[in-house]
A = this chain, B = another copy of it.
Amino acid sequence: MAQDEQDDYLIRPDPLDPRLTEKVAGVDQTGASIETRVTVERALTIFLNGQEIVTAMTINDYPEYLALGYLLNQHMLLPDDTVTGVDYDEELAVVVVRTRRKTDYEKKLKKKVQTSGCAQGTVFGDLMEAVENVTLPRAELRTSWLYALTQKINTTPSLYLEAGAIHGCVLAKEDRPLLYMEDVGRHNAVDKIAGYMFKHRVRPHDKIFYTTGRLTSEMVIKTVRMGIPILVSRSGFTAWGVELARKANLTLVGRARGKRFVALAGEDRIVFDQDLRYVEEESAKHRRKAAVHDD
């Protein structure tokens, strides 16, 4: 059964990939020597046409998707832009996105705002506009899907379960996880999903976005910009995240663990079809692991 479930994924974590973790030596609380695995992070510089845009720290499993998604979520690449090439050079740790349309982003790059979750220096005014002018589609979030989905995600082998100190994001449809991306920064995991959706023309209207991280303003803005109507997290809310979600009519579900969850925006999309007597509390094992996963 576990195998069937995992076959639903188009992309899922590969915790055994030797490039993604590193064995390091240290000592434990008794002073004894130990070896443990830690997540790698690598610098990757993203260019848009001739222009150096940013150097991101990433586990670097999907540099092309990361570059596309980063530029999209920064409004530097527009949904109707024609991408003429994405070239990744492993040795130089550089990825270049080429587009037909050319713009000078020097000026835009100057004015930055630090959002709270993981500040990306997003262009503030642009993002606020994006939330205010958007109309998210009608959609359904059945609670039976929600419980099945979180159960599948929690039992999928991941870097998070293997080495910790990593963020995960999942794009899902109904009760099926489709793309499960992890990265050292949560924003990278989101951007990789956005890049995949752009490249493969995945439609957002019937999707659910799941994150291990907090429901901050930045997370809400990115989900809305991707056109996805439902955002779920096992973690908590910030007040501004809630406010923006309400403004955009995004369904915002947080603290989703075991039987429990709380919805603070777009509650009308939720269909309470699950008999709660048949939902299990989260296993102690997962809870313990989750507790290690603190940012």
Q: Are B27 and A267 in contact (CB under 8 A)?
A: yes
Cβ < 8 Å to B, chain A residues 119-151: 119-121, 124, 143
Q: Are A24 and B124 in contact (CB under 8 A)?
A: no
Check A262 for interface membership: any CB of B closer than 8 A: yes
Determine how many copies of this chain the complex contains: 2
- Nearest-neighbour CB distance to chain B for A57, whole angstroms, equals 4
Q: Are A57 and B264 in contact (CB under 8 A)?
A: no
- Given the interface pairs A29-B259, A54-B112, A110-B106, the reply to whether A40 lies near B124 with Cβ below 8 Å is no
Greatest chain B CB density within 10 A among A36, A40, A143, A270 is at A36
What residues on B are CB-neighbors of A29 within 8 Å?
A: 143, 259-262, 272, 276
Check A30 for interface membership: any CB of B closer than 8 A: yes
Q: Are A116 and B57 in contact (CB under 8 A)?
A: yes
Check A34 for interface membership: any CB of B closer than 8 A: yes
Q: Give which listed residue, B119, B237, B294, contacts A234 with CB less than 8 A.
A: B294
What residues on B are CB-neighbors of A118 within 8 Å?
A: 117-119, 185, 295
What residues on B are CB-neighbors of A143 within 8 Å?
A: 29
Q: Give which listed residue, B58, B233, B276, B292, contacts A116 with CB less than 8 A.
A: B58
Q: In the complex, A181 Cα to B21 Cα: how many Å?
A: 32
Q: Are B115 and A121 in contact (CB under 8 A)?
A: no
Q: Give which listed residue, B27, B124, B165, contacts A270 with CB less than 8 A.
A: B27
18 interchain pairs, CB-CB under 8 A: A27-B263, A30-B276, A36-B262, A39-B238, A41-B217, A41-B239, A43-B113, A55-B112, A116-B184, A116-B185, A119-B185, A165-B235, A184-B238, A213-B294, A213-B295, A235-B294, A255-B292, A291-B291
